[in-house]
């Protein structure tokens, strides 16, 4: 798997990287990153983690120009997940990449990408919705945050079936909130074990869509008079919710 890596505070490992128990062989772009950015040498110790598994330490025991071997010990739990299911109207492709990294770094483990009347249908054709492209961005976020648990991303290209068939079940199991300018109360943290958060496209959901969410059991909230970009409003909302979910 060829991946582009960003800030690597944790070296994420895959099951097929292991050539024996506790021994890893790498020969892809991660090697170049470790050589050029981390300046690793024989004996260098790194923070490592197995995808959807534990975190620990790896020691470089063999090093060549195109590959390296690590002895690894995975004996710690990853950072705690954020108990938020994020429902997001599909954003513009360039924004989607940044948002995927952000939500992954912040600890969101469930993301539903949905259609909305203000979402251009062409957005659903972007190659950035391919499974490998989504995973690439999620992994970048995990490595930034020293996490290993890969978020689950589900796409719903039809709004009505989602809001009528899926959303009510999510609302019944959590505190369900739709963030929408000018509707409901100012968003504030309230005690809840799990939160389902719906965020619309640029300009917000339509009145019809907001009404359908409220019928499904969601309450409305807003962040005041300022209208923020979706990529900015998501971390603001998640930060307010983190105090009640971690």
pLDDT attached to residue 120: 94
* Alpha helix (H) residue ranges in the chain: 29-36, 93-106, 131-145, 159-161, 167-172, 207-215, 230-245
Residues 6+ apart with CB under 8 A from 112: 85, 86, 87, 88, 153, 154, 155, 156, 162, 166
Q: State the Cα–Cα distance between residues 90 and 140, nearest whole angstrom.
A: 20
How does strand 152-156 pair with strand 68-76? unpaired
Domains with residue ranges and CATH for the chain: 11-76 (2.40.240.20), 82-245 (3.40.1280.10)
- Residues of the chain predicted below pLDDT 50: 1-5, 244-246
pLDDT of residue 244: 45
Please give the structure tokens belonging to residue 165.
Answer: 């068939």
Query: Can you give the pLDDT at residue 182?
Result: 60
Q: What is the pLDDT of residue 2?
A: 38
- The contacts of residue 16 (CB under 8 Å, 6+ apart) are none
pLDDT digits (tens, 9 = 90+) for 63-99: 987 899 999 999 999 998 989 999 999 999 999 999 9
DSSP H or E stretch at residue 87: strand 82-89
In this prediction, residue 198 carries a pLDDT of 96
């Amino acid at each position: 798997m060829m991946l582009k890596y960003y800030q690597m505070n944790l070296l994420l490992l895959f099951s097929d990287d292991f050539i024996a128990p506790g021994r890893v062989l790498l020969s892809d772009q991660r090697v170049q990153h470790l050589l050029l950015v981390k300046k690793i040498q024989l004996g260098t110790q790194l923070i490592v983690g197995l995808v959807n598994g534990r975190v620990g330490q790896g020691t470089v025991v063999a090093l060549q120009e195109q590959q390296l071997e690590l002895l690894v010990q995975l004996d710690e739990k990853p950072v705690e997940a954020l108990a938020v299911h994020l429902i997001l109207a599909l954003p513009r492709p360039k924004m989607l990449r940044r948002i995927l990294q952000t939500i992954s770094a912040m600890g969101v483990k469930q993301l539903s990408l949905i259609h909305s009347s203000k979402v251009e249908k062409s957005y659903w054709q972007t190659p950035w919705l391919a499974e490998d492209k989504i995973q690439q961005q999620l992994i970048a976020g995990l490595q930034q945050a020293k996490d290993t648990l890969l978020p689950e991303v589900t796409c719903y290209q039809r709004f009505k079936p989602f809001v009528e068939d899926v959303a009510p079940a999510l609302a019944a199991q959590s505190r369900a909130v739709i963030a929408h300018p000018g509707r409901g109360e100012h968003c504030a943290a309230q005690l809840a074990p799990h939160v389902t958060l719906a965020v619309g496209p640029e300009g917000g959901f339509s009145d019809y869509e907001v009404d359908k969410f409220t019928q499904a059991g969601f309450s409305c909230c807003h962040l005041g008079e300022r209208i923020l970009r979706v990529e900015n409003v998501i971390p603001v909302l998640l930060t307010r919710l983190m105090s009640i979910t971690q």
